[in-house]
C-alpha cells in the first residue's frame, strides 16, 4: 500500500474529508475503504467573475508536458492546481453548481512513467435522472479519470467567458489495496452456446465498502437498451490494480458526487473480467446513474480504459458481448432490434423527447460525449451488437428432436383395464362370419369367394390324394385300435393284422418297427422290424382306421395312416382323398347350420388351402398338418372303450362340399393361399399376395348375434399382465408401439403390431401377436376404453405424433397442420386426405380420449360437433364420432387442457353472443357437463390457451378487438379466472393468428406462435416469469392466407 505523505507541495490542500484506506490481511476478500482527498482549485491570479482578459496557456511543470490549449486560443484559463506527492488511483472535479456551458477541464497525472498527456474530463451532466434517489444529494462534476498508481496531478479549467465556476474541488481517490485483488477470477471462455450469465466478480469480491452507499436505487421492471461506456483512463493498469480502480470510482460517485452508489451496473477490465457495479445489478433491474435522462430505461456496461484511439482487447470485447446478450435475455429484448426511448432531459435531449435507436448503443448516442471512444464505438460496437444478437438468438431456443409418441394408456385407479376389440383371428382373407353375413345378403358362394379373394380364378383339380400330418397323435409312436381287417404295408409287401393283438408302429433309430401286444407286453412283429420304408396301416373293408390319442381316446381317420421316421421321431400321416379331407374340415371350421353358400365358400377355401400347401411341400413327408394349418379331426372321436363321442363330418357340409367338388382357386395358374379366420372385425388385413388386400368388409358384422366376434369387450387385470411379463414389475402403462390396417370410425388406427409395457422395474416391447397369445385376446385389433386416472399431457399440442407442436389448418376437404420442425421453423403436413369440407372451428384439442395421442374437434354446417381420434404419425382416423349436436351458435373451439383440474382434458367454446362455455371431458372422448366461465368474449379477435404465468394453471390469452392489446386471463384452477393483465400493447391486431401450442423453444414453458398478416412471417414469443414476452424469434413464413384453426 502507498502511504499518504504528511506534507503537500505547491498548493495547500483543503481537505473536505480524508478516509484512510483499510488494509486487509490474507487472500479472502474483505471490504476496503478508499481514501478520498478533495482539494480546492483556486482561480488564476487576476481572474475573477466576469473577467475576460487573461488568455495565457497554463504552466507546465516539466519539459515533457504540453502547454497547448486544446480548446483554442482565446479560452482563458481561469483556474488551475497542481498536487504532488499524493498517491491516488482516480481524479475528478466537482462543483457547487453546474458550470457554464463551454467549460473545459483538463487533467494529467504523474506516475512511474512520468507525466501523461493532457486528458479532457468531460462534464458529467448526464449522471442521475432528475428526481431520482441519486439526484437528491448529487454534486455536479466531471467524469473521473482512472490512473492507478499516480503520485501527482495537474488540473486546469477554461471557460469561454473567463468566469470562474463556483466551488471547484479536485477529488483524488486512492482505492486501497487488498491481497485478494490478485486472486480475482479470470473471465469465462468466449464460446457461448446459450444465454447464460457470464462470470461476474461480486462487490464483496472486489472489496466494496457497503457503508459508502447512502440509499437504495429504484427497482425497474427491466431494461430497454444496453449502453456501452468507457472510464477514460490509462490502458496500462495491471490485473491486480483493477479492483482498486473500481473502488475509486465507487468512492468518487458516492463521496465526491453524492450519488447513492456506483453509477454503472457492470464494469469490465482490459483483461475481460466483469464486475458487479451498482448493488443488486446482477440479481435484478436497478436504476443506475450512467446515462442521464435515460437511466430508467437503460443499463450501463463500462469498460475501464480509454478507447478513443485503441480498441477493446479481444477478451474485453468477448465479455462485453456476452454481457449484452445476457442483459438482453433477462430483459426479454433482442439486442439487435431497435427501440424508442423517451428522455427525462439531459444535455442532448429535452424532457419528453423521443429517440429511436438500436438496443445496443454507446453513451454518445444519448448524450453530448465521446464515450465510449471513437475506436470502440465505430469499429467494435457494431460487432458487439451483432454477436450478442447471435448469442441471444441461439439462447432463445434449443433444438427439439422429434420424439415419436406412442399410444399409451395409463393404469386405471381400479387396476383393471376395460378393453374393446374387433374380430377373432388374424383377419386375412375370408371372414367366416363375413361369409355367413354375405350369404344372408343372397350372395352365392362364387360371389363370396370373389369378394374375399379378388383376382383369383376357379378351376377343377379332381380328387387327388392328400397327406395330412397327424400332429395330434404325437411322435413317439402310433397305436391303432383293435379292429378287424387291418392291413400293414411297406409298399412292397403286405400283411394282415390280427384283431387279437393291439398294434403300434414306433421309431427305432432311423427306422420304424411294427409291434404287437396281446396283453403280456409289446414285442416286434416278425419280418416288420427296423423297416427303412414307411409302414402304412389301412382297413380296406371299412375305408377308415382308428388311432389312439395321447389322452386315451380313439380318433377315426378315413383312408390310411402312414408312419414315417423323421429324425428319429414317428410322424403319423393320414393319406386320403381331397374331397374326404374337405368334408371333414369344413364343418369343424364353420358350423354346418350356416347357409349353404357360406359352407360351400368354406369348402373351396379349405380345399384350396390344402392344395397350396401340397404344391409347396417339397421334400416334406406330408402336404398339410392337422391343427396349425386347418382344423382336421378326421371322421369321429370315440372313447377308450369305443363309445362314439362326436362325429365331425356333417351331411350339410358334405352336401356343400359336393356342390363345389374339385373346385379350387388359382392365381397365376397355381393354387391360391386362401387364408381365412373367424372374423375380421369389419376390415380385412393385408396378406402376402395381391389377392389378399386390405379392405372394408360390410358382411362381417351383418349377422347380429352374441356369438359374432365382430366386436367384443373384456377386462384385463394389471396383475395378469404382470404375471405374463414379470420383468416389468408393477405395471404402469400399456402403450401401442404401432398399428396397421386402420380404416374408418371405430378402427382405432388398425391392428396392434407392437405393445410397450412399462412398469416400475422396466419396460419391454412385444409383438401384438405375442401379447394376444399370452393374455388370451381374440385378436390384435383392440383398444382400451377405461378412463385413465389422468388424461395425457396437453402440451405440446401435438397431433402428428412427434411430441412437437402443431396448429390445425383446414384446407378444403383435407385437413393439414402447420407443424414445428424442432429447429425454429415450421412445415405443413396433411393429417386427413378428405371428408373435411364444410367443417369449421377446427381445433387440436389434445388427448381427448383414453390414450396419449392428440385429437381434433370440429363443427359441421348443421351444428353437429365431431371428434376425430388422432393416430399420431398416421394422422387422423378416417372415421369420426359425434361429440354433440346444437353447436350452430358456436363460432370458436378453444383447447384448454385440464382447465378445471379434475384430471381430464376439457375444451372451451365461444357462443355468438360472447359467452364462453367450458365443456368438461370425461377422459374417454365424451362431454360430461357444460358451464359458463365468461361473457363478453365476442370482441376478442384471437383466443388461445396455455400456461403462461408460471403458476401451473391453464390460462387464456386473447387479442382485444378494441385496441389490439394482448391480454392474459389467468385461470384460477377451479374453472374461472383471476384478474386480466395486458401483456402486449396495441398492435397485435396485425397478427392473423396467435396460438399457444406449447413449448416451441425447448425451455419447458409454453410459447406463443403468431402469423403476421402483412408478410406471413411466423414469429415465436417466449413467455417468461409473470407472463412477460420476449422479443420475437423469426421462424420462417406461411404464405397461405387460409385461416388457421386452433
**How much is the pLDDT for 689?**
97
Q: Which of 127, 97, 159 is nearest to 369 (CA)?
A: 127
Tens of pLDDT, residue by residue over 223-252, are 999 999 999 877 999 999 999 999 999 999
Residue 587, φ and ψ in degrees, nearest 5: -75, -15
447 domain residue, yes or no: no
- The mean per-residue pLDDT over the stretch 80-99 comes to 91
546 — pLDDT class (breaks 50, 70, 90): very high
Find the mean pLDDT for residues 659-674.
98
Terminal-to-terminal C-alpha distance of the chain:
70
pTM: 0.71
Q: Is residue 680 part of a domain?
A: no
pLDDT of residue 75: 62
Residues 278 and 317 placed together within one structural domain of the fold: yes
Please determine, for residue 70, whether its predicted confidence score (pLDDT) is greater than 70: no
| pLDDT beyond 80 at 36 | yes
What is the 3 state secondary structure string of 65-88?
A: CCCCCCCCCCCCEEEEEEEEEEEE
pLDDT bin (cut points 50, 70, 90) of residue 145 is confident
Q: What is the pLDDT at residue 71? A: 38
Are 142 and 208 found together in one domain? no
Question: Which CATH number does the domain housing residue 318 bear?
Answer: 3.40.80.10
Q: Is residue 169 part of a domain?
A: yes
Q: Encode pLDDT of 758-805 as tens digits.
A: 999 999 999 999 999 999 999 999 999 998 888 888 778 999 999 999
- Assess if residue 407 is contained within a domain: no
Percentage with pLDDT > 90 across the chain? 76
**b/e burial code for range 265-300 (CB count within 10 A of at least 16 → b):** bbbbbbbbbbbbbbbebbeebbbbbbbbbbbbbbbb
CATH number at residue 895: 2.120.10.30
810: containing domain: 806-1037
pLDDT, average across residues 378-393: 96
Same-domain status, 494 and 518? yes
Question: Sorting pLDDT into bands at 50, 70 and 90, what band is 406?
Answer: confident
Domain annotation covers residue 785: no
How confident is the model over 863-880, as pLDDT tens digits? 999 999 988 888 888 789
Q: Are residues 67 and 193 in the same domain?
A: no
What residue has cell string 468466449?
Answer: 190
Q: How many domains does the chain have?
A: 5
Report the pLDDT value the prediction gives residue 187, as an integer from 0 to 100: 60
Do 45 and 137 fall into the same domain?
yes
Domain stop point among 776, 793, 827: 776
Same-domain status, 726 and 645: no
Decide if pLDDT at 450 tops 60: yes
The residue out of 146, 179, 212 marking a domain boundary is 179
Q: Is residue 981 part of a domain?
A: yes
Report d(CA 51, CA 30) in Å as an integer: 50
Give the distance from CA 36 to its chain's centroid: 58
pLDDT of residue 25: 34
Q: Is the pLDDT of residue 403 over 50?
A: yes
Mean per-residue pLDDT for 411-428?
95
- How distant is the alpha carbon of residue 149 from its chain centre? 57
Q: Under DSSP, is residue 5 helix (H, G, I), strand (E, B) or coil?
A: coil
26 CB-side CA count, 13 A: 4
Tell me the pLDDT band of 194, cut-offs 50, 70 and 90: low
Which among 348, 369, 396 is the end of a domain?
396
pLDDT digit string, tens, across residues 152-187: 999 999 998 888 899 999 999 999 888 888 888 766
Same domain? 758 vs 826: no
Residues 6+ apart with CB under 8 A from 143: 92, 121, 122, 123, 124, 231, 232, 371
Please indicate, yes or no, if residue 686 is contained in any of the structural domains.
Answer: no
In this prediction, residue 744 has a pLDDT band, given cuts at 50, 70 and 90, of low
Q: What is the pLDDT of residue 59?
A: 39
CA 19 to chain centre: 59
Q: What is the pLDDT of residue 1004?
A: 84
- With contact defined as beta carbons under 8 Å apart, do 56 and 142 qualify? no
Q: What is the pLDDT of residue 1038?
A: 95
Average pLDDT value for the chain? 90
Per-residue model confidence (pLDDT) at position 62: 40
Kindly report which listed range (54-58, 203-207, 402-406, 1025-1029) carries the lowest average pLDDT score: 54-58
Q: Is the pLDDT of residue 994 over 80?
A: yes
pLDDT at 186: 64
Shared domain for 625 and 503, answered yes or no, is yes
pLDDT(343) > 70: yes
Which one has a higher pLDDT value, 964 or 193? Answer: 964
Query: Are residues 380 and 473 both part of a single domain?
Result: no
Residue 17: pLDDT above 50?
no
Residue 72 has pLDDT above 50, yes or no: no
Mean pLDDT throughout 938-942? 94
Among 46-55, 723-732, 828-837, 840-849, the minimum mean pLDDT is found in 46-55
Whether residues 894 and 1007 fall in one domain? yes
Name the residue with cell 397369445: 773
Do both 195 and 267 map to the same domain? yes
Domain annotation covers residue 422:
no
Cα 875 to Cα 873: distance, rounded to the nearest angstrom: 5
pLDDT for position 125: 63
- CATH value at residue 129: 2.60.120
Kindly tell me if the per-residue pLDDT of 812 is higher than 60. yes
Instruction: Quote the percentage of the chain above a pLDDT of 70.
Output: 93
Residues 97 and 133 in one domain: yes
Amino acid at each position: 500500500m502507498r502511504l499518504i505523505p504528511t506534507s503537500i507541495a505547491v498548493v495547500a490542500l483543503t481537505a473536505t474529508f480524508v478516509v484512510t484506506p483499510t488494509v486487509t490481511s490474507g487472500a479472502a476478500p474483505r471490504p476496503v475503504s478508499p481514501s478520498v482527498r478533495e482539494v480546492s482549485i483556486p482561480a488564476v491570479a487576476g481572474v475573477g467573475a466576469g473577467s475576460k482578459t487573461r488568455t495565457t496557456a497554463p504552466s507546465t511543470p516539466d519539459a515533457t508536458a504540453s502547454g497547448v490549449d486544446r480548446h483554442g486560443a482565446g479560452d482563458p484559463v481561469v483556474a488551475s492546481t497542481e498536487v504532488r506527492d499524493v498517491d491516488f488511483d482516480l481524479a475528478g472535479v466537482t462543483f457547487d453548481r453546474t458550470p457554464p456551458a463551454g467549460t473545459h477541464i483538463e487533467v494529467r497525472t504523474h506516475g512511474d512513467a512520468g507525466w501523461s498527456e493532457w486528458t479532457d474530463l468531460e462534464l458529467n451532466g448526464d449522471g442521475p435522472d432528475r428526481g431520482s434517489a441519486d439526484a437528491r444529494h448529487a454534486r455536479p462534476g466531471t467524469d473521473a479519470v482512472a490512473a492507478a498508481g499516480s503520485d501527482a496531478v495537474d488540473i486546469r479549467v477554461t471557460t469561454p467567458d473567463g468566469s470562474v465556476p463556483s466551488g471547484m474541488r479536485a477529488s483524488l481517490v486512492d482505492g486501497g489495496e487488498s491481497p485478494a485483488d490478485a486472486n480475482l477470477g479470470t473471465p469465462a471462455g468466449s464460446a457461448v452456446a446459450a444465454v447464460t450469465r457470464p462470470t461476474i466478480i461480486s462487490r464483496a469480491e472486489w472489496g466494496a465498502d457497503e457503508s459508502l452507499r447512502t440509499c437504495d436505487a429504484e427497482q425497474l421492471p427491466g431494461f430497454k437498451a444496453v449502453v456501452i461506456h468507457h472510464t477514460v483512463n490509462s490502458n496500462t493498469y495491471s490485473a491486480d490494480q483493477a479492483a482498486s480502480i473500481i473502488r475509486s470510482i465507487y468512492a468518487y460517485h458516492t463521496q465526491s458526487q453524492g450519488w447513492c452508489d456506483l453509477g454503472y451496473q457492470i464494469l469490465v477490465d482490459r483483461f475481460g473480467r466483469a464486475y458487479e457495479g451498482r448493488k443488486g445489478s446482477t440479481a435484478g433491474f436497478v436504476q443506475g446513474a450512467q446515462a442521464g435522462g435515460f437511466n430508467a430505461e437503460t443499463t450501463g456496461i463500462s469498460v475501464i480504459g480509454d478507447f478513443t484511439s485503441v480498441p477493446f482487447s479481444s477478451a474485453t470485447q468477448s465479455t462485453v458481448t456476452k454481457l449484452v446478450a445476457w442483459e438482453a435475455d433477462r430483459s426479454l429484448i433482442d439486442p439487435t432490434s431497435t427501440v424508442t426511448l423517451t428522455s427525462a432531459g439531459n444535455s442532448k435531449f429535452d424532457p419528453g423527447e423521443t429517440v429511436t435507436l438500436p438496443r445496443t448503443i454507446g453513451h454518445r448516442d444519448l448524450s453530448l460525449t465521446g464515450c465510449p471512444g471513437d475506436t470502440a464505438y465505430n469499429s467494435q460496437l457494431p460487432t458487439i451488437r451483432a454477436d450478442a444478437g447471435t448469442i441471444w438468438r441461439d439462447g432463445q431456443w434449443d433444438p427439439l428432436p422429434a420424439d415419436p409418441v406412442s399410444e399409451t394408456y395409463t393404469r386405471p385407479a381400479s387396476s383393471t383395464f376395460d378393453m374393446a376389440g374387433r374380430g377373432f383371428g388374424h383377419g386375412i382373407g375370408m371372414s367366416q362370419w363375413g361369409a355367413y353375413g354375405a350369404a344372408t345378403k343372397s350372395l352365392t358362394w362364387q360371389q363370396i369367394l370373389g369378394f374375399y379373394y379378388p383376382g383369383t380364378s376357379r378351376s377343377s383339380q379332381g380328387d387327388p390324394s392328400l397327406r395330412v400330418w397327424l400332429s395330434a397323435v404325437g411322435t413317439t409312436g402310433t397305436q391303432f385300435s383293435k379292429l378287424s381287417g387291418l392291413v400293414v404295408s411297406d409298399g412292397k409287401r403286405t400283411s394282415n393284422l390280427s384283431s387279437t393283438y393291439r398294434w403300434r408302429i414306433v421309431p427305432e433309430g432311423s427306422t420304424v418297427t411294427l409291434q404287437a401286444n396281446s396283453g403280456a407286453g409289446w414285442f416286434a412283429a416278425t419280418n416288420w422290424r427296423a423297416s427303412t420304408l414307411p409302414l402304412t396301416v389301412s382297413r380296406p373293408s371299412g375305408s377308415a382306421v382308428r388311432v389312439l390319442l395321447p389322452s386315451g381316446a380313439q380318433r377315426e381317420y378315413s383312408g390310411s395312416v402312414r408312419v414315417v421316421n423323421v429324425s428319429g421321431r414317428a410322424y403319423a400321416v393320414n393319406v386320403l382323398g381331397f374331397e374326404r379331407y374337405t368334408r371333414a374340415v369344413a364343418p369343424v371350421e364353420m358350423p354346418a347350420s350356416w347357409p349353404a353358400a357360406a359352407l360351400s365358400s368354406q369348402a373351396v377355401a379349405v380345399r384350396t388351402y390344402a392344395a397350396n400347401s401340397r404344391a409347396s411341400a417339397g421334400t416334406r413327408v406330408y402336404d398339410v398338418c392337422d391343427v396349425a394349418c386347418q382344423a382336421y379331426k378326421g371322421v369321429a372321436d370315440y372313447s377308450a372303450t369305443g363309445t362314439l363321442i362326436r362325429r365331425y363330418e356333417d351331411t350339410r357340409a358334405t352336401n356343400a362340399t359336393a356342390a363345389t367338388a374339385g373346385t379350387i382357386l388359382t392365381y397365376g395358374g397355381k393354387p391360391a393361399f386362401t387364408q381365412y379366420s373367424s372374423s375380421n372385425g369389419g376390415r380385412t388385413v393385408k396378406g402376402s399376395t395381391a389377392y389378399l388386400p386390405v379392405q372394408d368388409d360390410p358382411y362381417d358384422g351383418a349377422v347380429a348375434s352374441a356369438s359374432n366376434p365382430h366386436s367384443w369387450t373384456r377386462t384385463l387385470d394389471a396383475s395378469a399382465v404382470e404375471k405374463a411379463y414379470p420383468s416389468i414389475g408393477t405395471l404402469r402403462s400399456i402403450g401401442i408401439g404401432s398399428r396397421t390396417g386402420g380404416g374408418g370410425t371405430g378402427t382405432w388406427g388398425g391392428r396392434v403390431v407392437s405393445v410397450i409395457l412399462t412398469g416400475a422395474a422396466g419396460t419391454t416391447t412385444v409383438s401384438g401377436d405375442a401379447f394376444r397369445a399370452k393374455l388370451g385376446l381374440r385378436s390384435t385389433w383392440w383398444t382400451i376404453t377405461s378412463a385413465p386416472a389422468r388424461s395425457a399431457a396437453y402440451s405440446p399440442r401435438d397431433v402428428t405424433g412427434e411430441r412437437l407442436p402443431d396448429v390445425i389448418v383446414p384446407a378444403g376437404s383435407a385437413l393439414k397442420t402447420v407443424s414445428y420442425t424442432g429447429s425454429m421453423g415450421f412445415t405443413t403436413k396433411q393429417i386427413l386426405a378428405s371428408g373435411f369440407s364444410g367443417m369449421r372451428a377446427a381445433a387440436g384439442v389434445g388427448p381427448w380420449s383414453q390414450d396419449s395421442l392428440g385429437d381434433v374437434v370440429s363443427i359441421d354446417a348443421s351444428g353437429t360437433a365431431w371428434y376425430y381420434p388422432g393416430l399420431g404419425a398416421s394422422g387422423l382416423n378416417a372415421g369420426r364420432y359425434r361429440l354433440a349436436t346444437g353447436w350452430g351458435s358456436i363460432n370458436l373451439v378453444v383447447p384448454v387442457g385440464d382447465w378445471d383440474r379434475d384430471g381430464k382434458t376439457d375444451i372451451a367454446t365461444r357462443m355468438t353472443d360472447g359467452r364462453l362455455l367450458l365443456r368438461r371431458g370425461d377422459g374417454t372422448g365424451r362431454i360430461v357437463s357444460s358451464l359458463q366461465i365468461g361473457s363478453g368474449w365476442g370482441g376478442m379477435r384471437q383466443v388461445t390457451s396455455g400456461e403462461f404465468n408460471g403458476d401451473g394453471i391453464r390460462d387464456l390469452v386473447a387479442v382485444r378487438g378494441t385496441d389490439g392489446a394482448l391480454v392474459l386471463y389467468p385461470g384460477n384452477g377451479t374453472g374461472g379466472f383471476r384478474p386480466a393483465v395486458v401483456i402486449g400493447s396495441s398492435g397485435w391486431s396485425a397478427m392473423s393468428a396467435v396460438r399457444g401450442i406449447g413449448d416451441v423453444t425447448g425451455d419447458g414453458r409454453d410459447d406463443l406462435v403468431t402469423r403476421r398478416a402483412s408478410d406471413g412471417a411466423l414469429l415465436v414469443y417466449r413467455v417468461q416469469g409473470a407472463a412477460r414476452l420476449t422479443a420475437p424469434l423469426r421462424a420462417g413464413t406461411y404464405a397461405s392466407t387460409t385461416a388457421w384453426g386452433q
